[in-house]
Structure 1
């Protein structure tokens, strides 16, 4: 009977925490539920069902706080750039024709101004892990596309660093033509594939 009560208590913690986080964003609730499940598992290993109940509560709070952190950041970023809250974090998509002239890795003045706004926001979130990915269409050789995409990603990275983002937080990668999001056989598709993506996530609490 006592064990059954503890199990029910653990489930209540999960459901209440997830419901409370729903107002801050659907993925916050998911984060809380996932954190609760992980916490319950660890707690069960350490202290049976009593440990599971305690672990569920701690895990839910940890997972929910990560979700809130990312939700808040996404809302700020969407004011200055095309932003999407993903299952694992935040995606900022910068179209290459807005950032660079064709074949160039030199940022346009307007692009620098926009990236500085993005950088000012990211600099406030010191727990971020940031991955800047450069992407191209399939025109030209794969090696040249990879090299150009890396130079473009690095140019974006340098602006973000200049606004206070820490070097240890950010990585620049040149993906070339390897990850298209549209058909490279059409002009519209090629334009979508030419982009720089800023992926943001946070290491999950252990």
Structure 2
């Protein structure tokens, strides 16, 4: 159902449980098992579809352990410094790989795959930084609200992820560093019962994977 493009393959046991904020029920469709949501970082090369993450050039490191056992690298230090200096909040996903999920989302107008003006500026700045980094991959996840048909929203989520990819590539981020996937309307971040909630769900989320 969900079209995945170059996705991190994380082993999942059993059905995935998805909490829909503000929703009182879950349809039979949404109760199916969804692809891994990068809630846990891959633990080794066998857990990733694109093994070049595991084979990426090892950056210089002081071998200082991170909060989940990851080792500090130059790329990780530079990325964290950039995010802090530009006020971009993030969370570190537990696991052996360094995976940083940005809390800042890229938003879209209803039915549109064009990045909203409010997101374009910081995305362009992030792209400029990433274009000079050799040790950071980008996973782009596209989402929609529940307006329209399921088929339409699946396609729109893919288009939104691809739109962000084009914006990054247009700012000289190497295409081989970027991976996209679309989730349609199935993973809302907010309720779809209000216009504010729908606007919240029309989004792209970015996860940055740092080579070790």
TM interval, short-chain normalised: 0.5 to 0.7
**Structure 2 vs 1, CA of residues 134 and 123 (structure 1 numbering), >3 Å: closer, same or farther?**
same
Unmatched 5+ stretches in structure 1: 1-19, 22-27, 35-62
Q: Which residue of structure 1 lines up, in the alignment, with residue 80 of structure 2? A: 74
Question: 1:17-48 CA deviation, whole Å, 9 max, x = no partner?
Answer: xxx95xxxxxx5324xx3xxxxxxxxxxxxxx
The answer to whether structure 1 residue 94 and structure 2 residue 105 are counterparts is yes
**Structure 2 vs 1, CA of residues 142 and 71 (structure 1 numbering), >3 Å: closer, same or farther?**
farther
Which structure is higher in helix share? 1
Q: Which residue of structure 1 lines up, in the alignment, with residue 189 of structure 2? A: 181
Unmatched 5+ stretches in structure 2: 1-62
**Structure 2 vs 1, CA of residues 193 and 71 (structure 1 numbering), >3 Å: closer, same or farther?**
farther
Q: Which residue of structure 2 lines up, in the alignment, with residue 128 of structure 1? A: 136
Higher relative contact order (Cα pairs below 8 Å, separated by 6+ residues): 2
| Equivalent residues of 1:136, 1:177 under 8 A apart | yes
Larger Rg: 1
Cα separation, 2, equivalents of 1:107 and 1:186: 21
Cα separation, 1, equivalents of 2:173 and 2:150: 31
TM-score by length of 1: 0.60
Higher mean C-alpha displacement, 112-121 vs 83-92: 83-92
Cα separation, 2, equivalents of 1:106 and 1:192: 15
Q: Which residue of structure 2 lines up, in the alignment, with residue 84 of structure 1? A: 90
Cα separation, 2, equivalents of 1:70 and 1:124: 13
State the SS of the aligned residue for 2:180. Answer: strand
Cα separation, 2, equivalents of 1:89 and 1:182: 23
The answer to whether structure 1 residue 29 and structure 2 residue 66 are counterparts is yes
Q: Which residue of structure 2 lines up, in the alignment, with residue 65 of structure 1? A: 72
TM-score by length of 2: 0.58
How far 1:160 moved relative to its partner? Answer: 0.6
